[in-house]
Each structure stands twice: as structure tokens, then as C-alpha cells.
């Protein structure tokens, strides 16, 4: 995004909650989806998807999802009612293969109706909780509910359901050794409105950063890079992440033909795209010195 792009001011309380809700969903995305199964005190199954969901601790293993009050009528969902009765749930990951069934489970069926039956998804017997998981999901997390944190009483208010994982079941089909392969698990993420994203194929990329590094930082980049209209934020990030500056000899030896080019910033952007980041910074430093 261009630094000069005008931004709209959104102030909670000054716009309808339903509009603020959509701004939030469009901004905080893509979000992982928890397909949550619960039972009531009579043993009736419920299954519902939640995209206000994430992992927050590994030791103890904690995941949290929020069952929000409906914006339209301020009612709460069967998932919350069930967890208040039976403090257990199973959170199943949503792969692309069950995406449409997951969306169907979001329908507000009567409490006595099982979403397993409506969607065709298969309940799997759990080992540490009474609640079933989803057979077709690549990952099931059997959870005990530690805490329910109520955030408000108006429509749109959340109930944070803090879950401690007792056991995970991970399909061998999505594993690469002892790690989950993102291409094999083929997860779905939720975006704003009716939009979803498939986290596999060309959408998945790797970007390593050693957090123990001592990178040169943005402040040490030449002004030609900082003021560039060609170099993107990602280009700047690659340059700033380098751990060593080019030597004086490298800078002096930059070809005069390159320095005389009218498209030197684009030339360096192309080098960065081809992972020749040190070379790009060397040229930018030489060009900066030439302009001084």
C-alpha cells in the first residue's frame, strides 16, 4: 500500500456493530477455523465452526475460540450452552475436502438436531473426553474447558472458551516425518463476508528469519532505498534483514554502467526477487554515494 494512501477512520460505537464486525473480519484474516463438537447433558451432539480461534500456549497446550452473541438478536449458540453443561469439546481442523460441509454446519439447526447428520460428517470416538471428533478432519484436539471469559452482554460480544488439549489425533496422511506438511493438510482459512482462502499450493511460501541474528536494520539503509517509489516494503525488509554490510571494496567495484542506468532501483528490485540481496544493497550503496 502506498504510504500516502488515505485511511478511513473507524470508531467503535459510532458505527453499527454489524458494520464494525465486517471491518474486523476483513482486517484480521485469514483466520484458522475450529470445527467444534460438543454435547449437552443428555448426550446430544452439536457441531459448529468458529473462526475467532487460535493457539496460545504449548506448555500447557491451550487453544481458545470465541462463541459470540449474535449481532442480530443477541442470542447465544448451542456450543456455549453445551460447554456450560459439559466442560469438554473436540476441535477439528478444517481441510479443503470438508470445506462445504463445515459451512453447512454453521446453519442454526434446532438444538435437538445433530449437525453430524445434516452434514454427513462422521463422529469419531474420543479417548479422553465424552465428546466425539470428526473422522474426516485431518486433526482432532480433545479438550477440557478450563475457563469461559464473558466479554460483554450486547450483540456481538464474545465468550472466550479456553481449552486445554488432552490429546491430539493427527492423520498420518498429512505428516512429513514428525511435522505437518501444509500442502498435505490443505487447510481452509476464513476471511471477511463469504470469502475463504485455501492454504496450499502457490498460496504457501516459506520465509526464514533467525531471531538470534543481528540484522543491519532499516536505519542503516541508504536514502536511495528508503525514498524509493520502486522498492516495496518486502524489498526493504529483505535489505534490512541482511546480517552484514557490503565492504568498501565491493561498493567501489560496482560497474559504472550499472550506476549510470536510469532504472537502477528496478534493477535492484529484480536482484532482490532473484535472492541476490547482498548484491542489490551493494549497488544501492554505490548509487547513493554517487548522488552525494
Q: What is the pLDDT of residues 163-209, one digit of tens each?
A: 999 999 999 999 999 999 999 999 999 999 999 999 998 998 888 99
Q: Are 199 and 206 in contact (CB under 8 A)?
A: no
Tell me which of 77 and 134 has the higher pLDDT: 134
Helix (H) or strand (E) holding 107: none
The pLDDT assigned to 205 comes to: 85
The pLDDT assigned to 3 comes to: 63
Long-range contacts of range 50-56, CB-CB < 8 Å, 24 or more positions apart? 50/79, 51/25, 51/189, 51/190, 52/158, 53/91
Q: Are 222 and 231 in contact (CB under 8 A)?
A: no
Main-chain dihedrals φ then ψ at residue 71, nearest 5 degrees: -70, -35
Q: Is the peptide bond before 60 cis (omega within 30 degrees of 0)?
A: yes
The pLDDT assigned to 255 comes to: 94
Give pTM, 2 decimals. Answer: 0.87
Q: DSSP letter at 228? A: -
CA dihedral 84, 72, 191, 171 (to 10 degrees): 30
Q: Are 204 and 114 in contact (CB under 8 A)?
A: no
Amino acid at each position: 500500500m502506498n504510504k500516502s494512501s488515505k485511511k478511513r477512520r473507524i470508531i467503535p460505537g459510532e458505527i453499527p456493530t454489524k458494520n464494525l464486525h465486517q471491518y474486523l473480519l476483513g482486517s484480521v484474516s485469514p483466520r484458522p477455523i475450529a470445527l467444534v463438537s460438543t454435547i449437552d447433558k443428555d448426550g446430544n451432539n452439536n457441531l459448529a465452526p468458529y473462526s475467532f480461534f487460535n493457539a496460545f500456549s504449548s506448555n500447557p497446550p491451550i487453544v481458545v475460540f470465541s462463541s459470540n452473541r449474535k449481532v442480530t438478536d443477541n442470542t447465544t449458540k448451542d456450543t456455549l450452552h453445551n460447554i456450560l453443561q459439559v466442560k469438554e469439546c473436540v476441535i477439528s481442523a478444517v481441510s479443503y475436502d470438508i470445506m462445504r460441509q463445515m459451512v453447512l454446519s454453521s446453519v442454526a439447526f434446532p438444538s435437538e438436531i445433530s449437525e453430524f447428520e445434516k452434514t454427513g460428517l462422521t463422529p469419531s470416538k474420543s479417548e479422553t473426553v465424552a465428546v466425539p471428533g470428526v473422522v474426516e478432519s485431518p486433526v482432532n484436539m480433545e479438550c477440557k474447558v478450563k475457563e469461559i471469559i464473558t466479554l460483554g452482554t450486547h450483540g456481538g460480544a464474545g465468550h472466550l472458551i479456553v481449552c486445554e488439549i488432552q490429546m491430539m489425533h493427527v492423520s498420518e496422511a498429512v505428516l512429513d516425518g514428525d511435522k505437518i506438511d501444509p500442502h498435505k493438510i490443505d487447510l481452509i482459512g476464513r476471511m471477511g463476508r463469504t470469502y475463504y482462502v485455501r492454504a496450499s499450493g502457490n498460496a504457501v511460501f516459506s520465509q526464514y528469519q533467525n531471531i538470534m541474528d543481528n540484522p543491519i536494520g532499516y536505519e542503516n539503509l541508504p536514502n536511495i532505498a528508503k525514498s524509493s517509489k520502486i522498492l516495496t516494503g518486502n524489498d526493504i525488509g529483505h535489505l534490512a534483514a541482511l546480517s552484514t554490510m557490503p565492504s568498501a571494496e565491493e561498493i567501489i567495484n560496482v560497474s559504472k554502467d550499472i550506476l549510470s542506468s536510469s532504472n537502477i532501483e528496478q534493477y535492484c528490485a529484480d536482484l532482490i526477487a532473484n535472492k541476490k540481496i547482498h548484491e542489490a544493497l551493494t549497488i544501492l550503496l554505490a548509487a547513493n554515494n554517487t548522488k552525494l
